[in-house]
Amino acid sequence: MAATKDSVIIDVRTEPEWVSGHLKNAAHIPLADIGNKIKSHEPNLDKEIMLYCRSGNRSGKAKIILEDLGYTNVKNIGGISAASKLLDIKIIK
């Protein structure tokens, strides 16, 4: 799987987790804010959105929230390490 210019990658972890390292080019919207902030970040309901967190648990919850809001192409790509390997994107600070 590869992220493309047509994909959005979102880190749903907390601010301290984000600051400690995140995928290059990822956006940061904590799980607690995803329902309120996603439309201003990505209004296209059909856009591919890839979500990750620390282990895949929170990104799974975020996926359900986005699908409930009408997003049709949402993927839980797991924890940050797995997401980094899956997408071949470096973790940066």
Confidence at residue 53, expressed as pLDDT on a 0 to 100 scale: 98
Catalytic (active site) residue 81: no
CB contact burial 56-85 (16+ within 10 A = b; e otherwise) = bebbebbbebbeeeebebbbbbbbbeebbe
Confidence at residue 6, expressed as pLDDT on a 0 to 100 scale: 84
Confidence at residue 1, expressed as pLDDT on a 0 to 100 scale: 67
| One-letter amino acid of 93 | K
Confidence at residue 4, expressed as pLDDT on a 0 to 100 scale: 65
| One-letter amino acid of 79 | G
User: Which segments of the chain have a pLDDT < 70?
Assistant: 1-2, 4
The ranges assigned to domains in the chain are 7-92
Confidence at residue 51, expressed as pLDDT on a 0 to 100 scale: 98
Please give the CATH number for the structural domain made up of 7-92.
3.40.250.10
Q: Which of 49, 53, 77, 80 is catalytic?
A: 53
Please state the pTM of the whole predicted model: 0.95
Confidence at residue 2, expressed as pLDDT on a 0 to 100 scale: 64
